[in-house]
């Protein structure tokens, strides 16, 4: 994201918070599509599911949800149908085009996240903060693709994908523990150096 003229003069923390809010708006639309892949839902249920599926990372308000629903509906990625069960509610469902957009977006996001992860680890190694370590493989991406994108996958395929994903997360956890240990050592070295001055 580019820094706009409005961002000049703001603290780094403020700019980072603004960017985080912009990213959340994009993720909200993606999460709406994801929740509607499961089943048609009305607004309140969409909010509950997004909160559940994102482990509380995204907690949309009605004020944020409904403009996103309207935008997705205008782009024909979802459609709303008025129903009545004692009260009139609008139930949203994903369209075929919405499913295609969701799949392409997730694939592009996973590729971008993988590239960013590799770049960060490469820079950490180059700066001496950590030693060269084996990064998680493309298995993570494939497992996530099966779980998120392949609605036709049978239970055995999904279970195998989950097991591979668990193994990859364990390796990632090990990698992060090594990184934390290296960072602690680097901090200790700097503190010793500082105390001698």
Percent of the chain with pLDDT over 90: 25
Residue pLDDT, tens place only, 153-183 = 777 877 777 787 778 778 777 777 777 787 7
Q: pLDDT grade, residue 4 (50/70/90)?
A: low
Q: How high is the pLDDT of residue 146?
A: 60
Sign for the CA dihedral angle at 35, 38, 41, 47 comes to negative
Q: How high is the pLDDT of residue 129?
A: 65
In the chain, alpha helices (H): 12-38, 43-53, 62-74, 96-126, 139-149, 155-196
**pTM of the entire predicted model:** 0.60
| Measured CA distances, 117 to 51, 52, 131, 172 (Å) | 25, 25, 16, 11
Q: Give the integer Cα–Cα distance in Å for 143 and 97.
A: 23
């Amino acid at each position: 994201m580019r820094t706009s003229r409005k961002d000049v003069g703001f603290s780094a923390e403020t700019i980072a918070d603004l960017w985080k809010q912009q990213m959340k708006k994009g993720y909200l639309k993606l999460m709406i599509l994801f929740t509607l892949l499961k089943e048609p839902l009305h607004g309140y249920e969409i909010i509950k599911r997004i909160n559940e599926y994102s482990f509380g990372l995204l907690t949309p308000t009605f004020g944020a949800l409904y403009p996103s629903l309207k935008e997705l509906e205008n782009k024909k990625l979802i459609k709303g149908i008025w129903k009545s069960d004692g009260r009139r509610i609008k139930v949203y469902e994903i369209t075929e085009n919405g499913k295609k957009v969701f799949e392409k977006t997730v694939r592009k996001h996973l590729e971008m996240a993988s590239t960013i992860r590799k770049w960060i680890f490469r820079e950490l190694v180059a700066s001496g903060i950590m030693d060269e370590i084996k990064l998680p493989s493309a298995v993570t991406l494939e497992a996530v693709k099966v779980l998120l994108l392949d609605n036709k996958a049978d239970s055995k395929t999904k279970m195998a994908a989950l097991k591979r994903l668990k193994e990859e997360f364990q390796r990632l956890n090990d990698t992060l523990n090594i990184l934390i240990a290296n960072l602690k050592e680097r901090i200790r070295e700097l503190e010793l150096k500082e105390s001698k001055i």
